[in-house]
Structure 1
Amino acid sequence: MGCGAVGIAAVCWTEPASASNVAAGLGEDRELTVPTWLTLLTGGAAVGASAMLAALVTDRRFVDALHEWDRPFPSVSTRSSRVLAIGSVLGSVLGLTALAAVIIVGLEGPAMPTANLAVILAFVGVRALLPMITFLVVDPWPTIDPFRFIARGVTGILDRVRGRERRNTAQTGTEGAKSNAASKNAAILEYPARLSSWPAVLGLGALVWLELVLPVTTDPGVLARVAVGYACVTVVGAVLFSPAAWFRHADPLAVLFRLYGAVAPVQRQDSQFRLVVPGARLRDESVVADSSEVAFAVLLVWELTYNGFVVTTPGRRTVETLVATGLSAHVTYLALLLGGFGLALGLYWLAAHASRRTAPTYRSERALARRFAPPLLAIAAGYHLAHYVAFVASLAPASLAALSSPLAPPVNPTTLLVPGWMGTVEIGALLAGHVLAIWAAHAIAFDCFPGRLQAIRSQYPFVVVMVCYTTVSLWLLTLPTTEPVYVAG
C-alpha cells in the first residue's frame, strides 16, 4: 500500500494526463478563475492576519479553557468495555478482509485500475479517505490495522510457546510463575532507543518514492505483491521488537495515522471517547516526542508538496533537466524527494533557531522545534484534504461498484465530473489547516514562555515558515497539471 499522490494518478482516469490532474488534487481541465498572484497574496495575507489576530488573544485562562474543553460520549462511557470489545472485533475483521481483498483481487481481479477493488481499497481507501476520517473525526487505524492484528497474534502464539517451555523446565512453582510472567509479550530483540522514529521516516519516504516509480496503480498484481511484502516486513519487525515498540516508532502507516489523529475532534482517553475542540490536542507536548517525529511531521507536509510539484509543468521540466545530465529517472525522483525534504526540514529548524533569538529563552533549539512541530500536522491535514477531496468524490461510484462486485465489476466504471467550484473548496481546506496551525502555535507559545510579549515574539519565525508553506501550496494548486515523465506505466 503506497503513499503518494502521483501513484494514485493512474487509478482515476484511463489517460495518464487526466490521472495526473487528480494526483495534484485537481479535476481534469479544471483551472482556477482567480489570478494566481491574487490567490497567493490572499492566502499569505489570510495566514498573516490570523497570526495577528491570535496575538491579540493573551488571556491564558481563555486559551486553557478552549484547549481543555471536552465532553465524553455517554453511550460509550456507560458500557465502554462491551462497546470497545465489539468495535475491536469488527475493526479487526474489516482490516483483515480488506488486506485479503487487496492481495486476492489484486492477483485475480480485473486489470483496469478503476475497476479493481485492490487499487480502490489501497488508494481511495487507505491513501485518501482514511486520513480524512482520521483528522476530521477520529483515528480508526489502531482498530482496523491488519498488520497490527497479525503481529499480535503471532506474538501471542510465541509467548504461549515460550511460557510452556519455561513451565516444563521450571524447578519450583514460584520460579515457573516468574518465568511465565517474564515471557509474556517479551520481544526477541530490544528496539534500539537511538533509532527513535527514524525507521518510520525512512519508510514513509520509501513508500512515496516507490509508488511513483512502480506501476502499483496500473498493475494490480504489482500492488498485491507490494502489500504482501509490506505485511511481511511489518509483522517480522513487530515480532522481533514487540508490537508496542514497532507500531509506536517504526511502522510508517501507524505513525502517520497516530499523528493525524491528534488533529481530530474525537480523542480516545482512558478507554473512553471524548469530544474536544478540533486541533486542541496539538498543544500536548507528547504528540511529537523527539527530533525524528519532527522530521516525520515535516515529511507529511513535504510529500504532498512533492507529489503536487512533479505533475506540474515546472516539475516536469525540472525532472527532464536532471535526467538530461545523465541521472536515471528513479534517481532523479529520489533526489527531488530527498532534496526538497532536506530544504523543508532545514527551513523549519532555522525557524526554531531564530525563535530563540526573537524570544530569548533557556529552552534549547531542539526543545522549541519539538514543541512547535504539532501545528505542522494541521497544515498537512488541510493540504491532504485539498489534494484528495475531489479525488474521493469523483471515484465514489467506481468504488461502490468495485465493492459490490469485486471480481466482476462494470467494464466501464462511472466517475463523477468534479465541478469547477471544487477548486475553491480545496483552497479553503488548505487555508483552514494553516489557520488552525497558527492558533495551535499560539497556544503552545503561551505554554513555553511566561511573558506575553515573549510568547508572541517566539511565533514570528514559525509564522514566516507557515506563510512560505501556504504560498508554495497555493501556487501548486493554481498551476495546470501535466503527465509526470519517466514513470512506470
Structure 2
Amino acid sequence: MRHCGSAQLKQLAAVAFLVMMAGDASAHGAERGLVMLLPTGFYVTGGALAVLFSFLLLAFAPSAWFAKGASIKIAPYFAVPKTPFSCLSFLLLLLCVVAGFVAPSDPLSNPLPLLIWTGWWVGFTLLQVVTGSLWPWLNPWNGPVSLLRKLVGPRLAKASHVNLPVSVGFLPAILQFSAFAWFELVSLAPDDPPRLSTAVIVYWLVNFTGILTFGEKAWLSRGEPFSVFFRMIGMLSPIGVSQSESGKMFVLRWPGDRSLVADALPPSGVIFILLTLATASFDGFSETFTWLGFIGVNPLEFPGRSGVMFANTLGLLASPIILVVLFYKAVIAGAWLAGEREITGWMRLSGKLVYSIIPISIAFHAAHYLTLLLVNGQYLLIMMSDPFALGWNLFGMAHWHVTTSFLLNIDDVRIIWLTQTGIIVAGHVIGIVLAHAIALRHFGEAKRAVVSQLVLAALMVFYTVFGLWLLSTPSVG
C-alpha cells in the first residue's frame, strides 16, 4: 500500500471531521465544531503583503489619479416614488411578524428568521454594495408615515415637532445598533420566531415614534441605525447619479468615490462606523478556541450561549472601545508625523478617514456570513414557495432539498476559504486606496498624505492578518 503524504492526511482528516460534525444549519449560524486544516499560513502572509504593497504603490502613484473620479453614463435617471415600495415592505414585514407567532416555530421554515437574518441582514446588505442604498425606498416607516399624514392632515405636520439636538449626534443609532448586535450575537435565541417577532415590533415602534417626534430627515439620518449603515454602504456602490447638461444620469464610477466629497463625520459618527466593524469582528472572534480559552470555557464541551452570555456581553462592549482607541491613535499619530498640530485638524481628518473603514466592515460582514448565505439561502428559497407550511408551491421550489455537500469536500472548502480570503484582502485594499485619496485632499500634497497614513496602514495590515486568522483558527461556530 502506498503511504499518504502529510498534506493528503490533513485533507482526509478534514473531510472525515466535517462529515462527522455535519448537521442542520440554524437561522443565524451553524452550531458545529470546525477546525480549518488547510495550509493557511501562506495565504495569511500573502494577504497582509498585498495590503502592504498596495500602500507602497500608492505612495508613488501620481496625485492626479485621485483628483477627480471618472464616471461613465449608463442610463437616464428616473425618479422612483418611495411611498408605494415602503408600504409594500411594511406589509411584507407585518405578514412575517404574524407568521413568527403562528407559523411553524422551526427557524429554518418560518419566514421571519429567514427573512431577517438571511434575506435582509446578509443578502440585502451586500446587495446595496452594488446598487447603492435602497433602504429609503424599502424601509417600513416612510410609507406608513406618509399615509398617516394624509389621513390626519395638518395636525401631523411633516416638519419635526422637536429638534433632535446636534450635540446628540449619532448616539440613538449607536445605542440601537448595539442592542441589535447584542440580540443577534449574545441573546439566547435570536432566531426563535416569537421572540424575533416581539423584537421586530419593539424596534419598529421605537423608530416610528422617533420619526413622528423628530421628523424623517433628522431621525433617519442620525437615529435609525440601518438608515445610517446602509447610506454609508451605498457610498461604495459603483452605480451613482450625476447631473449633466441633458439632465440627471445613472453613471458608473469608482467604488467609494462619493466618500471623498462627503462631510467629515463627528466623533459619534466615527464611533458608529467603527462599531459596525467591531461587532462583525467580535462575532467571529467569540467563536474561536482562543476566546473560549480566555474566558475559561472548554471549546470541546461548549455549553451553548447561556454559558457564555455574560462574557460575550462584556466582549461585545469592549470590542468597539478598543477599535475606537486604536483608530484615533493611528490617525492622530499619522497626522502628527505629517505636521498636523491642531486638534480640530485631527478631528476633521478622523471624521473623513473613517469612511475608509466602511469597505473593511463590509468585507468582514461578507466573509463571515458567506457559508450562512450558501446554506440558509437555500432554505429561504424553499420557504418562499411555501411560507406558512400549507403545502403551497408558489415558485416551484417547495420540494427542493438543501445541500451542504460543499462543506464536506476539501476542494470546495478550499474554494470557500479562498473566496473569503479574497474578500477580506479586497476590502482592506479598497480601504487603503480611499484613505490615501482622503489624505491627499486633506493635506494637499502627496508627501504629507503618505506620511499621515503610515500608522493607519500598519493598523490595516494588522487587521488583515486578524481577519484571515479568524477564518482559519479553530472555532465552534
TM-score normalised by L of structure 2: 0.83
Asked if 1:61 corresponds to 2:37, the answer is: no
Asked if 1:352 corresponds to 2:331, the answer is: yes
From 280, 286, 291, give the equivalent of 1:304: 280
From 183, 192, 195, give the equivalent of 1:219: 192
Matched with 1:394 is: 375
Matched with 1:8 is: none
Matched with 2:252 is: 275
From 25, 33, 51, give the equivalent of 2:38: 33
Change (3 A) 1:479 1:101: farther
Q: Which stretches in structure 1 are left out of the alignment for 5+ residues? A: 1-14, 163-183, 484-489
Q: Is contact 1:102–1:122 with CA below 8 Å preserved after alignment?
A: no
Matched with 1:471 is: 465
From 244, 262, 271, give the equivalent of 1:285: 262
Change (3 A) 1:55 1:155: farther
Report deviation, 1:228. 0.6
Report deviation, 1:203. 1.1
Change (3 A) 1:156 1:351: farther
Deviates more, 1:313-322 or 1:204-213: 313-322
The secondary structure found in structure 2 opposite 1:267 is strand
Letter of the aligned partner of 2:180 in structure 1? L
Separation (CA, whole Å) in 1 of partners of 2:476 and 2:33: 10
Letter of the aligned partner of 1:71 in structure 2? I
Aligned counterparts, 1:92-103, within 5 A: 92-103=86-97
Matched with 2:46 is: 42
Residues 315-372 of structure 1: per-residue CA shift (max 9 Å, x gap):
22334469x9xx9854422211111211111000101210122100255221111111
The secondary structure found in structure 2 opposite 1:481 is coil
Matched with 2:171 is: 198
TM-score normalised by L of structure 1: 0.81
Aligned counterparts, 1:36-435, within 5 A: 37-57=41-61, 59-65=62-68, 67=69, 69-74=70-75, 76-77=76-77, 80-81=78-79, 84-85=80-81, 88=82, 91-155=85-149, 157-161=151-155, 184-268=157-241, 273-286=250-263, 288-320=264-296, 329-361=308-340, 364-408=345-389, 414-418=402-406, 419-420=412-413, 421-435=415-429
Residues 167-205 of structure 1: per-residue CA shift (max 9 Å, x gap):
xxxxxxxxxxxxxxxxx4121211111111121112111
Q: Which stretches in structure 2 are left out of the alignment for 5+ residues? A: 1-20, 392-397, 407-411
Report deviation, 1:94. 3.9
Separation (CA, whole Å) in 2 of partners of 1:93 and 1:55: 49
Q: Is contact 1:72–1:272 with CA below 8 Å preserved after alignment?
A: yes
Report deviation, 1:62. 2.1
Q: Is contact 2:73–2:249 with CA below 8 Å preserved after alignment?
A: yes
Letter of the aligned partner of 1:63 in structure 2? F
Residues 384-423 of structure 1: per-residue CA shift (max 9 Å, x gap):
1111233212223211111111101769962443331111
Q: Is contact 1:23–1:311 with CA below 8 Å preserved after alignment?
A: no
Separation (CA, whole Å) in 2 of partners of 1:155 and 1:430: 45
Separation (CA, whole Å) in 2 of partners of 1:18 and 1:343: 35
The secondary structure found in structure 2 opposite 1:264 is coil
Q: Is contact 1:249–1:255 with CA below 8 Å preserved after alignment?
A: yes
Change (3 A) 1:433 1:114: same
Residues 79-105 of structure 1: per-residue CA shift (max 9 Å, x gap):
x24xx23xx355324412331232011
Deviates more, 1:92-101 or 1:45-54: 92-101
Report deviation, 1:244. 0.9
The secondary structure found in structure 2 opposite 1:146 is coil
Deviates more, 1:472-481 or 1:274-283: 274-283
Number of equivalences: 433
Q: Is contact 1:111–1:220 with CA below 8 Å preserved after alignment?
A: yes
Separation (CA, whole Å) in 2 of partners of 1:216 and 1:102: 18
Change (3 A) 1:239 1:413: farther
Separation (CA, whole Å) in 1 of partners of 2:144 and 2:37: 46
Asked if 1:448 corresponds to 2:429, the answer is: no
Letter of the aligned partner of 1:31 in structure 2? M
Report deviation, 1:41. 1.9
Deviates more, 1:413-422 or 1:335-344: 413-422
Q: Is contact 1:313–1:481 with CA below 8 Å preserved after alignment?
A: yes
Separation (CA, whole Å) in 1 of partners of 2:331 and 2:63: 23
Matched with 1:7 is: none
Separation (CA, whole Å) in 2 of partners of 1:187 and 1:272: 32
Q: Is contact 1:262–1:279 with CA below 8 Å preserved after alignment?
A: yes
Report deviation, 1:281. 1.8
Report deviation, 1:139. 1.6
Residues 255-306 of structure 1: per-residue CA shift (max 9 Å, x gap):
11111111111124577533211122232232x5211111111111111110
Q: Is contact 1:394–1:417 with CA below 8 Å preserved after alignment?
A: no
Letter of the aligned partner of 2:321 in structure 1? G
Change (3 A) 1:314 1:159: farther
Change (3 A) 1:415 1:115: farther
Deviates more, 1:357-366 or 1:132-141: 357-366
The secondary structure found in structure 2 opposite 1:71 is strand
* Identity between Structure 1 and Structure 2 (%): 23
Letter of the aligned partner of 1:214 in structure 2? S
Deviates more, 1:328-337 or 1:358-367: 328-337
